[in-house]
Chain A
Amino acid sequence: GENVEQHPSTLSVQEGDSAVIKCTYSDSASNYFPWYKQELGKGPQLIIDIRSNVGEKKDQRIAVTLNKTAKHFSLHITETQPEDSAVYFCAAHRSYQLTFGKGTKLSVIP
């Protein structure tokens, strides 16, 4: 089955700096890659996604890049703000199955 590795497990950045979270996947048939943000006491929230026919997607301060050849994808957050502090999950999807990474706890220091 699919295996998704996510790094780092924790990340601290100063407010205003950029944050990058990286994921790798094992199954080349995976074709959809969402990212979720989970705040304390809340459920995961879909924040951005990318499909395998696209290399990059941007939505305001967040962007996702996909390298199909290397089987890795990344989340980029620019101009980080304290409200960006949360746990972020990547996932890879194929054949009705969505496999999640273990998550990255992002802390933005004011």
Chain B
Amino acid sequence: ETGVTQTPRHLVMGMTNKKSLKCEQHLGHNAMYWYKQSAKKPLELMFVYNFKEQTENNSVPSRFSPECPNSSHLFLHLHTLQPEDSALYLCASSQGTGGQPQHFGDGTRLSIL
């Protein structure tokens, strides 16, 4: 049973839609992460939040907008996405703030029409 919960598990949206991905961790961890997982490519770090402050933005396009209202919740707001943004989006958390994720959620499978 994962301590990191992501919703929804699947999302289909058009390029002009606005949607949000949600992540919640029940582990008391201090850091949370968004990763993108595409076929045949390594996991790509998108954003890092330490103690709910953003510390890393890995050159992610502005059509992805993260939000971290507290150290247990993380959102990824999506708008005007492109077909190449179709992927599995993974949330992770860690006790430490050194960029070493310990627990991943099961991801949101995003498909852009």
Interface residue ranges, A against B (CB under 8 Å): 4, 32, 34, 36, 41-46, 89, 93, 95-103
Contacts and interface: CB of A to CB of B under 8 A. Distances in A.
A46 B104 CA distance: 8
Contacts of A41: 106
B82 to A, nearest CB: 23
Contacts of B90: 43-44
Of A4, A96, A97, most buried by chain B (CB within 10 Å of CB) is A96
Does more than half of chain B's interface fall in helix, strand or loop, or is it mixed? loop
Interface of B: 2, 4, 40-43, 45, 48, 55-56, 90, 92, 98-107
Contact of B100 (A4, A42, A93, A102): A93
5 contacts: A42-B106, A89-B42, A96-B55, A96-B98, A100-B42
Contacts, number: 46
Nearest to B90: A43
A97 B43 contact: no
Nearest to B2: A43
A97 B107 contact: no
B41 A102 contact: yes
B104 A100 contact: no
A97 B99 contact: yes
Contacts of A102: 40-42
